[in-house]
Structure 1
Amino acid sequence: MKRPGRSLRKAENRRLTNAVDGQTVGIFEAAGILHVHPKTVEELIRSGAIPAGKVGRAWVMMTCDVLAYAKKLIISQTAERLSAKRTVTKAPQRGRPLFCGVVK
């Protein structure tokens, strides 16, 4: 009997992961939540950015941890954009000034 192909095993892992009341996600579901490639999620797991455990060959993460990572990114990047916006100063105007004399 022929063993199931790799893509069939991946699909089976996705079904099994989804069966746990949505509390846990695998790499593919986490990639879907974060809108990134599954390899990127794997790199985040290996770096420790997202807590995960390995059960057999499959990585398992808590959905709340994936969402917390996304929230942390959103907050920090928004803060960076806001602080950059505040530090931008107006460039001096070109041409001659409106008042040529002394203003009292």
Structure 2
Amino acid sequence: MIDAIAWKFQTGSQWVHLPEKYGNRRGICNRLRMWAVDGTWERVFTALMAQADADEDLDRAVSVDSTIVRAHQHAAGARKKGTRPASRTTTPSAAPAAG
């Protein structure tokens, strides 16, 4: 279960791509969500921090915020599939050349 959750977050992949060796992806996803809601992850982090502090192995703690949202490429202004608009041809101006 923990390996599956670690794989998911290390790869940044979607749950649907979870290798079969980890088991039922829906069950793992639901367990992750339940553990987040009931405070399990906070208790694990607190216990690990206390253990590292007791071992005098604690240099610093880094908190990573997971609120980064990636926009789809089309939302970011990428060209959509389909025919490309014809390029505009340039025509010489009627004004006399500067000289």
Same fold (TM over 0.5): no
- Structure number with higher strand proportion: 1
Q: RCO (CA 8 Å, sep 6+): is it higher in 1 or 2?
A: 1
- Structure number with higher helix proportion: 1
Larger CA Rg, structure 1 vs 2: 2
**Which TM-score bucket, shorter chain as reference?**
under 0.3
Return the TM-score normalized by structure 2: 0.28
